[in-house]
Amino acid sequence: MTSIANTRNLKKIKIETELEVFESVSNLPEDIQELMNKAHEARKNAYAPYSHFKVGAAISLANGETVIGNNQENAAFPSGLCAERVAVFHAGAQYPGVQLTAIALTAGSTQHETVVPIPPCGACRQSLAEYEVNQSSSIPVYFMGETGKVVKAQSIKDLLPLIFDSSYL
């Protein structure tokens, strides 16, 4: 009976996300091209001897600074950290309270060419969301493989709907 009652009262929530796709880096606004180039530079220094998958991140800040990150792996696998979190925690550590204005990400295997856009993992989305919620302005995320198309999400919320944040605590 309960399940029938529940079925009768069923309401649905539809979640829609719109992402923009750029054909290549050269189609991005100039400042984002520069940011993506910094992500590519950062990717070169990733420490990924186990996965052979290198990720670079660059975050622009409202004070004009840019912070970078890359994935740092560890022989004790879970002790490593993704590029996005290295970058965003660096921003939080060095420039606390300064707004993040955009994030550029590039990722790919060292063993084959990666041409598809690689989105940030769930844990990184959650970590980035903390900063977006705190600064109450959206942080656009641009992500790509090594080459090829670049996808833009206008907000972390577009990549992680139903965000868990401190308002629930």
x/- site string to ligand THU, residues 114 to 143, per CB under 6 A? Answer: ------xx--x-------------------
Q: State the nearest-atom distance from the C-beta of 92 to ligand THU, in Å.
A: 17
- Residue among 18, 34, 84, 130 flagged as catalytic: 84
> Does the footprint of ligand THU cover residue 84 (CB under 6 A)?
yes
Binder of ligand THU out of 51, 135, 138, 147 (CB under 6 A):
51
List phi, psi (to 5°) of 138.
-75, 150
DSSP 8-state secondary structure symbol assigned to residue 26 = G
84 is catalytic: yes
Toward ligand THU, which CB reaches closer, 120 or 140?
120
Spatial distance between the Cα atoms of 128 and 84, rounded to a whole number of angstroms: 8
Of the two residues 53 and 95, which places its CB atom closer to ligand THU in the complex?
Answer: 53
Among 80, 98, 133, 138, binds ligand THU (CB under 6 A): 80
